[in-house]
Amino acid sequence: MRDFILSFITSITIASTVGAQSIRIEARQNGQGFMFKNTGICWVLMPRHLLDGDRNAFEAETSPAPSVFGNGSAFTDFWDGMDFAIGSLRQVAGDTACTASLNDVSQTRVVAGRVQRGFLRYVEVGGNIADYPMAIVDTGDHKTFDAEFTRAEDAAFQGMSGGFFFAQGQLVGMVTKSPDGARRMTFIRIEEIAFATRQWLAGRARNVVLVPKTQAADLGQLPLRLLSYDTPSVSPDTSAEGLANTTGAYHFDFTGPTTLTFGVGDGGAVGVSRVRVISEGDGAKPLGIRVLIDASAAGGNPQRFARGEMTPDGEFDTAPRAERFARRVIIAVDSVQGSGPVRIDRVEVY
């Protein structure tokens, strides 16, 4: 398998190896990580401490040349007590460079304790690969182990976090602690990473559809009329009406599931193929979102169109799908991420 490097310009980096794809990350700190594809989505595994701020957005560039680019955002809320996060990568990098699968990190044949020696693989800027021989010196608890450089001239440096320990051609662990100048580093065991990731993907049942943002302009946006909403805005200048006439964001306090109902088109049934909900700026954002459509003349017959979760950088996008006729589009916000008033800046229907 070809080696790839992803440079996360604004948040992270990750790298690719035999049987695994990694990426190089630049954010508050530089680092490494791993990318794999699952149900058509490219996911990125990385240390949580590499991420910057509340948005956790990143851009990526693969290497060696010819480079392809992508961007995405990370979720940090699924493994309490562990320095670990998962992100979703979109655009060309996620389509073409992301070819590994979660099975590539699920092996249990080669584990810390059965092997003592291997190497840390590091992907440099430009895509060159550097392997640092290491020996496992402490098997720790069932989630982590420690390894130490075996060459006198080697020591940890910033950017190694997220790198992978290999033994007998298999992934064994991912670096989470790599203090500058240290001879010893702490790794999360690969079997724990695989287990936690599978549990998270299955339990949260995410439908994170990531498509290039530029595609939105290629489709005709339908005019909206706000017909009803459940939750009052926090102030008159942040009312839900602004979503229909594009005059401003809707801010509301989340006390439970809330819905907004929009009329689409000029009153008759029109074809709907895509819905986007955008939350920009700081503050709380929707998390779990359901989109329903209703083609009946009198209303009261909503049908499911899409369901999923908004990414931490504030985008929920159903992506283009089979066109269905509708007179009304209903946005149901079932849960939120962050604290304080929830913000929705735009609802777009195509």
Query: Which pairing describes strands 20-25 and 5-8: parallel, antiparallel, or unpaired?
Result: parallel
Q: Which residues contact 236 (CB under 8 A, 6 or more apart)?
A: none
Query: Average pLDDT over the chain, rounded to whole?
Result: 78
Q: What is the pLDDT of residue 185?
A: 93
For residue 112, the 8-state DSSP code is: B
Q: What is the pLDDT of residue 16?
A: 39
Record the tokens describing residue 221, joined without a space: 């946006």
Q: Which amino acid, 297? A: A
Q: How far apart are CA 339 and CA 334, in angstroms?
A: 15
- Name the helix (H) or strand (E) containing 245: helix 241-245
Q: Which residues contact 296 (CB under 8 A, 6 or more apart)?
A: 327
Q: What is the pLDDT of residue 325?
A: 92
In this predicted structure, the answer to whether residue 15 has a pLDDT above a threshold of 50 is no
Work out the percent of the chain whose per-residue pLDDT is above 90: 29
- The pLDDT-based confidence of 322 (bands split at 50, 70, 90) is confident
The CA-CA-CA angle for residues 21, 85, 176, to 5°, reads 80
What are the pLDDT digits (tens) for 234-293? 998 899 999 998 888 999 999 999 999 999 987 788 999 999 999 987 778 998 899 999
In this predicted structure, the answer to whether residue 223 has a pLDDT above a threshold of 80 is yes
What are the pLDDT digits (tens) for 91-109? 544 455 677 788 777 766 6
Residue 143, Ramachandran bin (φ over 0: left; ψ between -120 and 50: alpha; else beta): alpha
In this predicted structure, the answer to whether residue 19 has a pLDDT above a threshold of 50 is no
DSSP string, 189-213: EHHHHHHHHHHHHHHHT-------G
The whole-number average pLDDT for the span 57-78 is 64
Q: How far apart are CA 171 and CA 168, in angstroms?
A: 9
Q: How far apart are CA 129 and CA 182, in angstroms?
A: 21
pTM for this entry: 0.58
The whole-number average pLDDT for the span 196-223 is 62
In this predicted structure, the answer to whether residue 126 has a pLDDT above a threshold of 70 is no
Q: What is the pLDDT of residue 108?
A: 64
Q: What is the pLDDT of residue 349?
A: 94
φ/ψ of 100, rounded to 5, equals -75, 165
In sequence order, what are the beta bridge partners of 10?
none
Record the tokens describing residue 290, joined without a space: 């359901």
Give the best-scoring range by mean pLDDT among 50-54, 70-74, 180-184: 180-184
The whole-number average pLDDT for the span 121-135 is 81
Helix, strand, coil tally for the chain in percent (to 5): 10, 45, 45
Record the tokens describing residue 33, joined without a space: 């990580």
Which residue in this structure is represented by tokens 């029109």? 270
What domains does the chain contain, in order, with CATH numbers? 1-206 (2.40.10.120), 213-349 (2.60.120.260)
In this predicted structure, the answer to whether residue 4 has a pLDDT above a threshold of 60 is no
Task: Evaluate whether 46 touches 11 at the Cβ level (below 8 Å).
Answer: no
For the chain, the first-to-last Cα distance in angstroms comes to 39
Work out the percent of the chain whose per-residue pLDDT is above 70: 75
Lowest-pLDDT choice from 14-23, 43-52, 146-155: 14-23
